[in-house]
């Protein structure tokens, strides 16, 4: 039991970046256990996916033709059967919305412990040391567990694997119990379009929960007017119905790459940062000097937004 099995992710015909990151994480773990790296790619155009995933360090790619898109029942059953036949030490799954929709079920089925949303992994073959964040990124922790495990990895933490590999590509035919598939995907829908496309904006004035009340948004709109900028926000502002969905920056919102991103009263949770880390210049205005947003900010003001923002607006009047 030294091998590593990593499960690729794709959606609507495209492999997602995290699949290549898993190759890197998986290879590193397999080096530490002295085993092979197996990939599984399930549903859709698997031959094509396998070709793309055949990067440096992959030993075997198992293709499974059942289904077109992600179905958690098919994934759970397939990964469990693959794991039964390969007996890997670690099963790696992306910590994506879909990963979290089946990884726990895989762990239950295999009776293995589960550690999710890891940002670093290390093993001596027996003990796995996983680094995770807690309290919205305010602290990092190391956790240890013994023996085989199911692990999900956070996107963007490992570099994407490069280079062409010479993996064996093998077709795997799981026995799918159709009667146990009680969830059916009936379609997809794009949301969040509207009058403004924040992903085109050059300057974004972005507001978070620090603004406290809907009425207070006025000072944000005033600043955006003065700067000739566009208003965007973190998720809670949209959840509260204070701004429409097309203004949400982040993992489940829009990815933005403005010249200047001014994050006002935004803590910088990982799902938010996923949408704005590509901004050229990031300015944070936050009372908390330890807020995670400070880690990616180029400029920061640690002060009350209700004092700073009106002052800033004034400077442009």
Partner 1 sequence: MKILVPVTEVATVDDEFEIEGTAIAEQYLGADLNEWDEYAIEEAVQLQEAGVADEVITVTIGPEECEQTIRQALAKGADRAVRIWDDALEGIDLLGVEAKAALLSAVVEDEDPDLVLTGVQAGDGAFGATGVSLASTVGYEWAAVVNHLEHDLEDGVASVRRELEGGVEELTDVELPAVLTIQTGINEPRYASLRGIRQAQRKELEVLGLADLGVDESAIGAAISLTDMYEPESESDATVWEGSAEETAGQLAELLREKGVAQ
Subset of residues 120 to 179 that bind ligand FAD, contact rule: CB under 6 A? 136
- The least distance separating ligand FAD from the CB of residue 169, rounded to whole angstroms, comes to 33
28 forms part of the interface with ligand FAD (CB under 6 A): no
Q: Would you say 165 or 250 has its CB closer to ligand FAD?
A: 250
- The least distance separating ligand FAD from the CB of residue 251, rounded to whole angstroms, comes to 4
Q: Would you say 199 or 252 has its CB closer to ligand FAD?
A: 252
Question: Which residue's structure tokens are 């010479």?
Answer: 166
- The least distance separating partner 1 from the CB of residue 269, rounded to whole angstroms, comes to 10
Among 35, 44, 99, 208, binds ligand FAD (CB under 6 A): 208
Dist. CA 121–CA 124, nearest whole Å: 11
Under rule CB under 8 A, which residues in 60-89 are in contact with partner 1? Answer: 72, 76
| Of residues 287, 281, 282, the one with CA closest to residue 305 | 287
299 forms part of the interface with partner 1 (CB under 8 A): yes
Q: How would you classify the pairing of strands 281-285 and 260-264? A: parallel
Question: Which residue's structure tokens are 């704005």?
Answer: 276
Dist. CA 317–CA 314, nearest whole Å: 5
Residue 272 binds which of ligand FAD, partner 1, none (CB < 5-8 A, kind-dependent): ligand FAD
196 by DSSP, 3-state: which?
coil
Under rule CB under 8 A, which residues in 234-253 are in contact with partner 1? Answer: 235-236, 238-241, 245, 251-253
Q: How many beta carbons lie within 10 A of that of residue 143, not counting itself?
A: 12
Under rule CB under 8 A, which residues in 5-34 are in contact with partner 1? Answer: 11
Dist. CA 213–CA 195, nearest whole Å: 24
Residue 116 binds which of ligand FAD, partner 1, none (CB < 5-8 A, kind-dependent): partner 1
Tokens at 223, concatenated: 């600043």
126 forms part of the interface with partner 1 (CB under 8 A): no
305 forms part of the interface with ligand FAD (CB under 6 A): yes
Residue 106 CA: distances (Å) to CA of 111, 125, 149, 306: 8, 21, 10, 48
The answer to whether residues 175 and 81 touch, using CB atoms and an 8 Å cutoff, is yes
Helix (H) or strand (E) holding 260: strand 260-264
Site string for partner 1, 200-229 (x = CB under 8 A): ---x----------------------xxxx
Q: Which residues of 44-81 are buried (b: 16+ CB within 10 A; e: fewer)?
A: bbbeebbeebbbebbbbbbbbebbeebbbbbbbbbbbb
The answer to whether residues 257 and 275 touch, using CB atoms and an 8 Å cutoff, is no
- The least distance separating partner 1 from the CB of residue 169, rounded to whole angstroms, comes to 28
Among 175, 178, 186, 195, binds partner 1 (CB under 8 A): 186
Among 14, 51, 212, 295, binds partner 1 (CB under 8 A): 295
Q: Would you say 175 or 213 has its CB closer to ligand FAD?
A: 213
Residue 134 CA: distances (Å) to CA of 4, 169, 264: 26, 39, 22
Residue 267 binds which of partner 1, ligand FAD, none (CB < 5-8 A, kind-dependent): ligand FAD
Length of the chain in terms of residues written:
317
Among 260, 263, 266, 273, binds partner 1 (CB under 8 A): 260
245 forms part of the interface with ligand FAD (CB under 6 A): no
**Angle value at C-alpha 54, between 49 and 59, nearest 5 degrees:** 125
100 forms part of the interface with partner 1 (CB under 8 A): yes
What does the binding site for ligand FAD look like in residue numbers (CB under 6 A)? 97, 136, 208-210, 234-236, 248-253, 265-267, 269, 271-272, 275, 285-288, 291, 304-306
């Amino acid at each position: 039991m030294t091998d590593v099995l990593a499960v690729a992710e794709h959606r609507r015909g495209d492999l997602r970046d995290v699949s290549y990151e898993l190759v890197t994480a998986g290879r590193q773990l397999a080096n530490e256990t002295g085993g092979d790296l197996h990939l599984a790619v399930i549903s859709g155009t698997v031959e094509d996916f396998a070709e793309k995933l055949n990067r440096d360090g992959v030993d075997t790619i198992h293709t499974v033709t059942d289904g077109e898109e992600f179905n958690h029942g098919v994934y759970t059953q397939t990964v469990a059967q693959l794991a039964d036949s390969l007996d890997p030490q670690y099963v790696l799954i992306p910590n994506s919305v879909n990963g979290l929709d089946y990884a726990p079920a895989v762990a239950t089925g295999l009776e293995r412990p589960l550690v999710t949303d890891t940002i670093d992994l290390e093993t001596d073959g027996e003990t796995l040391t996983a680094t995770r964040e807690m309290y919205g990124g305010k602290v990092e922790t190391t956790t240890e567990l013994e023996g085989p495990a199911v692990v999900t990895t956070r996107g963007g933490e490992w570099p994407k694997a490069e280079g062409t590999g010479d993996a064996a590509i093998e077709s795997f035919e799981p026995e799918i119990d159709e009667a146990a598939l009680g969830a059916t995907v009936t379609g997809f829908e794009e949301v969040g379009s509207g009058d403004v496309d924040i992903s085109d904006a050059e300057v974004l004035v972005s507001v978070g929960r620090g603004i406290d009340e809907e009425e207070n948004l006025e000072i944000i709109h005033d600043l955006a007017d003065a700067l000739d900028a566009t208003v965007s926000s973190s998720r809670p502002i949209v959840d509260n119905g204070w701004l429409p969905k097309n203004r949400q920056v982040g993992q489940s919102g829009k990815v933005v790459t403005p010249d200047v991103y001014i994050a006002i009263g935004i803590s910088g949770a990982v799902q938010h940062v996923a949408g704005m880390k590509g901004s050229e210049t990031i300015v944070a205005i936050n009372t908390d000097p330890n807020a995670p947003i400070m880690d990616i900010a180029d400029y920061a003001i640690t002060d009350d937004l209700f004092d700073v923002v009106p002052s800033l607006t004034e400077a442009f009047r």
